[in-house]
Amino acid sequence: MLKVSVPKSEMWSDTLGRFITIDKDYELNLEHSLIAISKWESKWHKPFLSDEAKSYEETCDYIRCMNTTHGVPDEVFKLLPDSVIAEANEYIGDPATATWFNEAKKDGLPGRNKKEVITSEIVYYWMIELNIPEAYAKWHFNRLMTLIKVINIKHEEADPNRKNKMSRNEILAQNAKLNAARRAAMHSKG
């Protein structure tokens, strides 16, 4: 958890066309978690985990999604000082674990196509697939991703053929192709 202070202030908002006033100091408790990412994605309708730079408004809104302090007015998140944004970005980038990976190897994420866009639903899917309890969605996001990688790597070490196994959908697709080829060869409808 990251604790940051937002001082009382007043500033003109070009976006809103009015002054925004924060009448007192606020202390925010921030959690970079799958839950926060999910909230942000549901508002912005785009993946949080992309290489696309986020606007000031999107960044401030993600900090709002990370906030666990109750009773903080939305105006506070429209006047975030650069120092608070810098602290939040540093916290978001923190690995939050002592585990590290040899990056020359594959990323260790289950069934991931390198071009696949990762959204919160994909990460929730991985959690379900790997039997990770839902409570872990509150963990620091980077720590959760490390756990997912570790579990997947350990599964592959225990069963080296695991990564070569087909998913249920791949098996069904392959069977459908084989059946179609057999029907064509036998001039049959079923």
Q: Domain residue spans in the chain? A: 2-93, 120-186
Stretch 147-161: mean pLDDT? 84
Q: How far apart are CA 3 and CA 13, in angstroms?
A: 25
Encoded tokens for 180: 């179609």
Query: Per-residue pLDDT tens for 65-99?
Result: 999 999 999 888 988 888 999 999 999 999 888 88
Which position has the token pair 């069904």? Answer: 172
Are 147 and 136 in contact, with CB atoms under 8 Å apart? yes
Please indicate, yes or no, whether the overall pTM of this predicted structure exceeds 0.75: no
- Name residues whose C-beta falls within 8 Å of residue 87's C-beta, 6 or more positions apart in sequence: 2, 4
- Whether the Cβ atoms of residue 36 and residue 66 lie closer than 8 Å to each other: yes
